[in-house]
């Protein structure tokens, strides 16, 4: 029997407080359960609850909303104006990339927080969300992630993108050497990745409780550590973009894998 194919008009997708189960979940950051944020290692972020942002997706009109939390592919993220990284982002590097080795404390590694600050030479302009490339050199695994949103407008010269990546031992563990790159296409000459940083999240001993807190999110099929067959460009390399759920056929946008070998788009 031939596989069932379906097509979805992007106009049906919302920019805030929306869920397509197994694909993308969006909710106001202020409404996210504290135990979920705690499991991500996200603390002292209450200052975001009263902020707002203007966002855009796939050639639609911009929409203003509260600061949202996004979840797709096993990746949580939020976006806010300014350039203040949380103090638990402990390893930092100026520019569009950072390299590090996962430290080896007593408890098992279970997640990576990645944060980057993007800036523009102009005020009050639309800024494109960048591709994030995580390369586990030790395990020869690459994830190329394009955010659900296309464009954000914050009325400021910069914005901060904070993300948490759920990793199992098959994807990342203590001792692995990893690089994270945030390339900016040459087309956007006025947009710069100013700074990158990472923080490491480990089990704290109450393993069952932690897994329950994120149990719903980990139950999704198409996440890192799950079934990413339809998002695999070649062995060990995955292109994570919700548009892949809707595209017909198996072609992968050349734009994404052209970014892997360097910090800038080579078009």
Residue 191 has a pLDDT of: 77
Percent of the chain with pLDDT over 70: 72
| Six-digit token string for 131 | 């591709």
| Six-digit token string for 171 | 């994807």
Rounded Cα distance, 188 and 179, in Å = 23
Rounded Cα distance, 146 and 156, in Å = 22
Helix or strand (DSSP H, E) at 75? strand 75-81
Query: Residue 64: which residues within 8 A CB-CB, separation 6 or more?
Result: 52, 53, 54
Listed by start position, the domains of the chain span 16-129+152-210
Residue 263 has a pLDDT of: 34
16-73 confidence digits (pLDDT tens): 677 888 889 999 898 999 999 999 999 999 878 777 776 665 555 666 678 889 999 9
Residue 60 has a pLDDT of: 55
| Six-digit token string for 121 | 């030479």
Q: Would you state the torsion angle of the CA atoms of residues 153, 154, 160, 164, taken in this order, to the nearest 10 degrees?
A: -60
pLDDT at 254 over 90: no
Q: Return the SS3 of 148.
A: coil
137-185 confidence digits (pLDDT tens): 999 999 999 998 877 776 667 889 999 999 988 999 999 999 999 987 6
226-237 confidence digits (pLDDT tens): 999 888 888 999
104-133 confidence digits (pLDDT tens): 887 889 899 999 998 876 655 677 788 999
| Number of neighbouring beta carbons within 10 Å of residue 77 | 22
């Amino acid at each position: 029997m031939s596989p069932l194919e379906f097509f979805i008009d992007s106009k049906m997708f919302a920019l805030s407080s929306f869920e397509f189960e197994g694909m993308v979940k969006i909710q106001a950051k202020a409404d996210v359960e504290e135990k979920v944020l705690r499991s991500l290692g996200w603390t002292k972020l209450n200052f975001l609850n009263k902020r707002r942002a203007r966002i855009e997706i796939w050639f639609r009109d911009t929409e203003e909303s509260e600061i949202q939390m996004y979840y797709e592919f096993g990746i949580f993220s939020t976006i806010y104006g300014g350039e203040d990284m949380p103090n638990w982002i402990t390893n930092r590097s100026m520019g569009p990339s950072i390299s590090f080795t996962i430290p080896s404390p007593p408890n098992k590694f279970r997640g990576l927080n990645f944060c980057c600050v993007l800036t523009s030479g102009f005020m009050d302009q639309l800024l494109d969300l960048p591709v994030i490339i995580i390369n586990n050199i030790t395990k020869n695994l690459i994830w190329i992630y394009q955010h659900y949103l296309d464009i954000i407008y914050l009325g400021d010269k910069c914005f901060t993108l904070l993300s948490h990546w759920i990793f199992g031992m098959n994807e990342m563990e203590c001792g692995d050497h990893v690089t994270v790159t945030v390339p900016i296409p040459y087309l956007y000459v006025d947009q710069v990745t100013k700074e990158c940083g990472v923080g490491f999240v480990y089990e704290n001993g109450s393993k069952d409780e932690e897994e329950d807190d994120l149990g719903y999110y980990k139950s999704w099929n198409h996440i890192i550590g799950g079934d990413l067959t339809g998002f695999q460009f070649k062995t060990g390399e995955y292109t994570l973009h919700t548009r892949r759920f809707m595209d017909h056929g198996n072609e992968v946008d050349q734009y994404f894998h052209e970014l892997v070998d360097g910090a800038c788009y080579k078009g």
